[in-house]
Amino acid sequence: MDDFKMLCLDIDGTLLNSEHQISSKTKRMIKEAVKRGILVILVSARMPKGIWFLQDELEIDQAIISYNGALVIEKNSDYLLNLTIAKRDLKDIYSLARHLDVHISLYQDDHWYIENLDHCDFAN
């Protein structure tokens, strides 16, 4: 581990085990990495609210990467990167999705907007 400067960890299916928890072994390894001066960054498709509590559990205080890289944010809410879709483009995307009967979800900050639960996997 001595050559590493940063460790970026995906959350779902990587950091979290099949019970959606961080194993004690994983916690120990992350603490060891931090002790060695390695930055530990959590990365996810999740919104920030779905990441902060894991960061607290791991006792790390770095920026997080959320929305599949579209938002990089510090714990103090300073944005390091914030890629958004312009409203005019969003209207076109929404119209095309409706035409193709494709469900889209929209995220803004820590809010998740969905139009219809019938399209979601968890509806059944």
Which tokens is 44 given? 């996810």
Asked whether the predicted pLDDT for residue 120 surpasses 70, the reply is no
For the chain, the domains span 6-82, 87-123
What pLDDT does 109 receive? Answer: 79
Q: Give the pairing of strands 79-82 and 105-108.
A: unpaired
Q: What percent of the chain has pLDDT over 90?
A: 72
Q: Which residues pair with 42 in a beta bridge?
A: 9
**What CATH architecture applies to the domain 6-82?**
3-Layer(aba) Sandwich (3.40)
Cα 13 to the chain's mean position, in Å? 13
Taking only the tens place, the pLDDT of each residue in 59-111 is: 999 999 999 999 999 988 899 999 999 989 999 999 999 999 888 888 887 88
Asked if 44 and 50 count as a contact pair (C-beta separation under 8 A), the reply is yes
What three-state secondary structure class fits 83? coil
Tokens for 106? 């929209």
